[in-house]
Chain A
Amino acid sequence: MLLLQLIVNGLVAGAIYALMALGFAVIYNATRIFHLAHGAVYAVGGYIFYALAIQLKVDPLVAFVLVVPATALVGAAIEALVYRPARGRGAGLFALFIISLGLLVFMQNLLSFLFGGDTKSVWPGALPSYELGGIVVTPYHIAVVVVCLIVFPLVQWFVTRTRTGKAIQALSSNRELADVVGVDVPRLYLVVFALGSGLAGIAAALLSIDLGVNPGMAFTVITFAAISVIIGGVGHLPGAAFGGFLLGLLQSLAVWFLPLAWQDVVVYGLLFVFLLLRPQGLFGQRLITRQV
């Protein structure tokens, strides 16, 4: 029974990494910006959810739905007001990475200034729990599963079936070529930032139900999201999500034979192994083959 419980715990933790990784990958694949401020957008999403659901007493479901466009807007604003002007002044990818890091820390401190540094609980006290065949789940677990079952196919459909999605794929494959064939690259950048940031908003709202919000919530999640993308394979969206689930699952299953303090060692150990033996990630090779 312990094994099954660990699998459930791992999949739920992995789902949050997967949502974050997918958003991070959408932005990275199309723009090549190592968008660490994605973590800040995630934290902003958590606070928007808290402000709506707790401070303004908006129905939590409505608040959850509103977080998505709100974080999408924040993400698009970062592209329009920070990255685009920086690129216009000749900033390369490394400069954008540093700007992104600065933005992450700045936004974190801004949240601390606006809301205080303490943890704000969205649900004080224990969530109700249900036992299903010896496995204990909470409404949080169920919400994560339901949301993932809706969001992942929806993103896949959007990217593979819609005109904008195909343009994003084209942009991810070859920016110059996409430009030549008439893809509106600046507009598409706004779309990918909005899409990726909306996914971060979903993850933030979900996790804030479980853990509440605090300004420091971004760092671990953005680190694990970036690792998930590397493990899944840079350039491959389903791979990023798969990497997130794999990370959560391995982190959880490691408990079976290791002390819990070693959970993170498993994550970084896995990253090390991938960087050493398969730097293209699990699905990266397939993409390269397809490109060739």
Chain B
Amino acid sequence: MRRLAAGGLLAALLGVTACAPTAGAPTGSAPAPSKPAPANPQAQAPASAPAQAPAQPEQEPYKIGGTFVMSGGQAEFSRRQLIAGMQMAIDELNEAGGISGHKLASVYEDSRGDPGAAVAAMRKLVEVDKVPVMQSIYTFIVFAQMPVAEETKTVVFAPSVEHPELTTRSQWTARAALNSIDNALVMADFIAKTLGYKRMVIIHEDQEGVTSQLKPFTEKYTQELGGQIVGQEAYKQGDTDFRNHIAKLRGLNAEFLWVIGANSVDKPRVIKQVRESGWNIAVGTQAPFEDPEVLAVGGSALDGVVFTTSTFTPEFADRFNKKYGYPPDNIAAKHYDGMMITAEAIRRGGYSGEGIRQALNQITEIDGGQGKLVNNGQREWKPSPVFKMVKNGQFVAYQP
């Protein structure tokens, strides 16, 4: 009986960790490289920056870690956009000869969307794989990983995390995105001035990275722009039935519904159920949203939905599309840029946590997948915000 119980547990563990990627999935072992077009960092290199060594392909690869949600409902999104973006950068860098003769090798671990599992995954990357730098995602995950980053001197590059305090709470974090306050203020302006709606409701994910933008948004929208938020309801990651949220908000005579959440699949579900309830309200949301899965879930119910995102260059989109056979979301470009900035930091500071952290502060701007990004001095490379909408089942630039 003990043997059977142990076997069952083993099967469970194998099951948890054996989230096999499907066809076309980016993997850690660099797949066939696409046309190399690495980013073009334009920082003023300090005099003390280490010179680039001649190519020595036989040298040990530099391992770069990544903790993403690789099991459960979000696994596919991670694979299609986050890992795809990061892996594309690694493949392009390797195609161009790697860094100082070292190829790059990615090591991905499953955070399972759980802070405890994410910390364990990070410890494995740091202590077993000896990575000095890694990518991660989601505020609640990265905040849980911060103490380990401090303790082990590991850089956690969280390209798409938008929490305003990401880079002030720890010197070991960085991002390649606007923060949530930037996004919120831009959206408040857009709703009140461009769209002209002064009475709105909000359905939001109950997660710190998302809720952190509600206060600045509310202040700007209500106090500065004269709008009214007549109701707001929260949901948890993984929720699928939003009919009660909708029933509760529907009677409040709002003109605009803002749906905000950290992953892409919940939002089209909310909007789909809004339309099913017969509620013909104008709807807006935010990135990540520009993913084929969003259209698959929401279908024609998404027509007319506007959203904030940041731009990515047509060249990046073209290379991504050729490599993977589907278009990128802007979040893929963020993780691509995060990897390119990391690579430049390794070139300048060497392959160590401390070296990378210090070098990050010296990279002032970069031409990446999101276009020209400028470091604000706090290890934040900010892209320009843009507005898009869904029209006839396509993501297009916003048209009034």
Contacts and interface: CB of A to CB of B under 8 A. Distances in A.
Interface in A169-195: none
Contacts of B245: 255, 260
Nearest to B300: A125
Interface in A201-245: 211-212, 214-217, 220
Most chain B beta carbons < 10 A, residue from A117, A127, A214: A117
A156 interface: no
Contacts of B77: 118
Interface in A114-149: 116-121, 123-127, 129, 131, 136, 138
Contacts of B296: 118-121, 124
Contacts of B57: none
Interface in A56-110: 86, 89-92, 94-95, 98-106, 108-109
Given A102-B11, A121-B297, A89 B235 contact: no
Contact of B8 (A98, A118, A127): A98
Given A105-B16, A118-B76, A216-B238, A131 B278 contact: yes
A261 B238 contact: no
Interface in B234-286: 234-236, 238, 240-241, 243-245, 247-248, 251, 265, 269, 272-273, 275-278
Contact of A102 (B12, B76, B240, B275): B12
A95 B5 contact: yes
Given A102-B12, A109-B19, A129-B277, A260 B233 contact: yes
Most chain B beta carbons < 10 A, residue from A91, A124, A252: A124
A13 interface: yes
A2 B11 contact: no
B229 interface: no
Nearest to A3: B247
Most chain A beta carbons < 10 A, residue from B9, B79, B238, B241: B241
B74 to A, nearest CB: 8
Given A89-B4, A216-B72, A261-B206, A126 B276 contact: yes
Given A9-B243, A261-B206, A112 B75 contact: yes
Most chain A beta carbons < 10 A, residue from B71, B298, B300: B71
Nearest to A5: B247
B254 to A, nearest CB: 15
Interface in B161-179: none
A90 B9 contact: no
B73 A216 contact: yes
Nearest to B276: A126
Q: Is the interface of A mostly helix, strand, loop or mixed?
A: helix
Interface residues of A, number: 55
Q: Is the interface of B mostly helix, strand, loop or mixed?
A: helix
Contacts of A92: 1
Most chain A beta carbons < 10 A, residue from B14, B19, B20, B272: B272
A99 B265 CA distance: 31
B196 interface: no
B48 interface: no
B7 A261 contact: no
B22 interface: yes
B20 A99 contact: no
B43 interface: no
Given A99-B11, A102-B12, A117-B75, A260 B234 contact: yes
B150 to A, nearest CB: 31
A1 interface: yes
B8 A99 contact: yes
B291 to A, nearest CB: 9
A117 B76 contact: yes
Contact of A119 (B10, B79, B247, B293): B293
A71 B370 CA distance: 47
A3 B10 CA distance: 47
B233 A252 contact: no
B18 interface: yes
A108 B71 CA distance: 9
Contact of B4 (A9, A99, A105, A252): A99
Given A13-B241, A105-B11, A95 B1 contact: yes
A268 to B, nearest CB: 13
A118 B72 contact: no
A136 B273 CA distance: 11
B301 interface: yes
B15 interface: yes
B314 interface: no
A138 B238 contact: no
A184 B79 CA distance: 49
Nearest to A221: B240
B63 interface: no
Nearest to A263: B244
Interface in B61-103: 71-77, 79-80
Given A91-B1, A125-B300, A126-B272, A118 B293 contact: yes
B50 interface: no
Contacts of A91: 1, 4-5
Nearest to B18: A109
A100 B272 CA distance: 35
A2 B278 CA distance: 14
B299 interface: yes
A261 B234 contact: yes
B79 A117 contact: yes
Interface of B: 1-2, 4-5, 7-12, 14-16, 18-20, 22, 71-77, 79-80, 206, 233-236, 238, 240-241, 243-245, 247-248, 251, 265, 269, 272-273, 275-278, 293, 295-301
27 contacts: A1-B251, A95-B8, A98-B12, A99-B7, A105-B16, A106-B12, A109-B71, A118-B265, A118-B293, A118-B296, A119-B293, A120-B296, A125-B301, A126-B301, A136-B276, A211-B241, A211-B269, A214-B73, A220-B238, A252-B244, A255-B247, A260-B233, A260-B234, A261-B206, A261-B233, A261-B234, A264-B236
Given A2-B248, A102-B9, A126-B276, 6 more contacts: A99-B5, A102-B12, A117-B74, A212-B297, A260-B234, A261-B235
Please give me the 6 A-B residue pairs with the lowest Cβ-Cβ distance, nearest first.
Answer: A125-B299, A124-B299, A102-B11, A105-B15, A118-B76, A98-B8
